[in-house]
């Protein structure tokens, strides 16, 4: 893929970015802090492409960027506390973790299958593009995992050239601080990450105590826990064959021996495409997460590229609990 670099000078640049995002392509763009790697939050293939471009070994949930409270309310359920915080601090460096709204335009790969979603309204081009798309954008930092964070179009190009469609060059980043991440409850705010909005400002705006996440480990580190997102049934990985009555998560064109005795089969990608498999993973785990399903078996999935993150997630789903 050829990566275009165009200056973020006028409407034409944003129109080009909008067209690419609508087509499910990735666009690196300046945010208040560093460059973000933006994609359509509702598109499983766009979100999978973000993880692939960054070479992330895990599916961390991503922050959704919206253009205001109206779009935010299509994404998440707001209570009065959350609404007060948004009105006070948006646009700006405050990310709210809230219950995912029904029919939210957010793909499960972007939330890593969580029932909550992290969202904020940024300043500038990221918010404007979400507005043009009329959908949220996910935008983690525009750098390969473990590499230097992109604070200019040149640095972003060095890391991601050939892997993304477009870089909007808005000059060097001011390098502000990251967004504060907070989970509001009726009686307290849980501060998940310190950032541009202070603890005191949050407490003052909400009129509530701000607590640390130690007491809420599952909230603190979604995805980091060994057995998080695990379905109710037992999960067997790298299966060479299916035993009668098992629920099967398959991959690729070759049928597992014994597949005809399965209770149900979901194939993550009949053609063996890892990006497609990533996009279907959380929906498959959710479909088989039921008290009535006690045995789930997963075919062996290659460990290269997105396969590393897929296998990491499956290992957590299968961990003893
Ligand atoms: P960033 O790297 O700035 O894009 O921020 C991503 C951060 O948001 C990660 O630390 C995630 O763990 C956090 N995050 C995203 N979604 C959630 C969620 N549903 N619950 C808690 N934290 C989240
Ligand atoms: Mg980063």
Tens digits of residue pLDDT in 204-240: 999 999 998 876 655 555 545 444 567 889 999 999 9
d(CA 82, CA 98) in angstroms, rounded, equals: 8
d(CA 153, CA 144) in angstroms, rounded, equals: 14
The closest ligand to the CA of 55 turns out to be 2
**CATH architecture for segment(s) 4-211:** Alpha-Beta Complex (3.90)
pLDDT at 220: 52
d(CA 112, CA 229) in angstroms, rounded, equals: 9
The closest ligand to the CA of 119 turns out to be 1
Question: Around Cβ 284, how many Cβ atoms within 10 Å?
Answer: 22
The residues facing 100 across adjacent strands are 76
pLDDT at 219: 56
pLDDT at 88: 98
| Greater pLDDT, 223 or 143 | 143
**Residues in the ligand 1 pocket, defined by CB under 6 Å:** 60-63, 97, 111, 114, 116-118, 140, 178, 181, 192, 222
**Ligand 2 centre distance from Cα of residue 234 (Å):** 33
Is the peptide bond preceding residue 258 cis, with omega within 30 degrees of 0? Answer: no
Q: Which of 86-100, 145-159, 211-225 has the lowest mean pLDDT?
A: 211-225
Q: Which of 7-16, 65-74, 156-165, 219-228 has the lowest mean pLDDT?
A: 219-228
Q: What is the pLDDT of residues 8-44, one digit of tens each?
A: 998 999 999 999 999 999 999 999 888 999 999 999 9
**Ligand 1 centre distance from Cα of residue 102 (Å):** 20
pLDDT at 226: 47
What's the mean pLDDT in 249-268?
97
Q: Which atom of ligand 1 sits closest to the CA of residue 193?
A: 10
Structure tokens belonging to residue 122: 């940024």
pLDDT at 63: 97
For the chain, the domains span: 4-211, 234-318
Average per-residue pLDDT for the chain:
93
pLDDT at 192: 93
**Ligand 1 centre distance from Cα of residue 158 (Å):** 25
The closest ligand to the CA of 149 turns out to be 2
Whether the pTM exceeds 0.85: the reply is yes
Q: Which atom of ligand 1 sits closest to the CA of residue 223?
A: 12
The packing angle between helices 11-22 and 125-133, to 10°, is 50
Longest dimension (CA), the chain: 62
Cα of 97 vs its chain's centroid, Å: 13
Q: Which residues, other chains included, contact 237 with Cβ-Cβ below 8 Å and sequence gap of 6+? A: 298, 300, 314, 315, 318
Q: What is the pLDDT of residues 261-318, one digit of tens each?
A: 999 999 999 999 999 999 999 999 989 999 999 999 999 999 999 999 999 999 989 9
**Ligand 2 centre distance from Cα of residue 318 (Å):** 27
φ, ψ (nearest 5 deg) of residue 11: -60, -35
| Greater pLDDT, 134 or 212 | 134
Rg (CA), the chain: 20
**Ligand 2 centre distance from Cα of residue 143 (Å):** 7
Residues with CB under 5 A from ligand 2 (ion): 141
**Nearest Cα residue to 63 out of 22, 95, 29:** 95
pLDDT at 229: 66
């Amino acid at each position: 893929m050829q990566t275009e670099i165009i200056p973020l000078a006028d409407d034409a640049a944003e129109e080009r970015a909008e067209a690419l995002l609508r087509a499910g392509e990735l666009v690196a763009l300046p945010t208040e802090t560093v460059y973000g790697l933006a994609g359509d939050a509702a598109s499983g293939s766009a979100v999978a492409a973000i993880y692939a471009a960054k070479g992330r070994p895990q599916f961390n949930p991503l922050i959704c960027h919206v253009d205001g409270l109206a779009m935010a309310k299509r994404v998440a359920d707001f209570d009065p506390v959350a609404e007060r915080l948004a009105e006070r601090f948006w646009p700006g460096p405050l990310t709210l973790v809230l219950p995912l709204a029904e029919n939210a335009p957010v793909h499960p790969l972007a939330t890593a299958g969580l029932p909550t979603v992290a969202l904020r309204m940024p300043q500038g081009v990221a918010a404007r593009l979400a507005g043009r798309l009329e959908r949220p954008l996910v935008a983690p930092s525009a750098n390969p995992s473990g590499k230097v964070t992109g604070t200019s179009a040149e640095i972003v190009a060095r890391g991601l050239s050939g892997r993304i469609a477009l870089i909007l060059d808005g000059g060097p980043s001011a390098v502000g601080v990251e967004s504060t991440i907070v989970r509001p409850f009726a009686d307290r705010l849980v501060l998940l990450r310190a950032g541009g909005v202070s603890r005191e400002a949050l407490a003052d705006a909400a009129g509530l105590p701000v607590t640390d996440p130690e007491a809420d480990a599952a909230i603190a580190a979604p995805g980091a826990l060994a057995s998080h997102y695990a379905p109710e049934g037992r999960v067997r990985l790298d299966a060479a064959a299916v035993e009668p009555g098992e629920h099967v998560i398959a991959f690729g064109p070759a049928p597992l021996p014994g597949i005809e005795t399965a209770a149900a089969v979901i194939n993550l990608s009949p053609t063996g495409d890892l990006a497609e498999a990533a996009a279907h993973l959380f929906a498959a785990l959710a479909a088989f997460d039921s008290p009535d399903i006690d045995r789930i078996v997963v075919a062996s999935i290659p460990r290269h590229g997105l396969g590393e993150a897929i296998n990491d997630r499956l290992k957590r789903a299968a961990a003893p609990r």
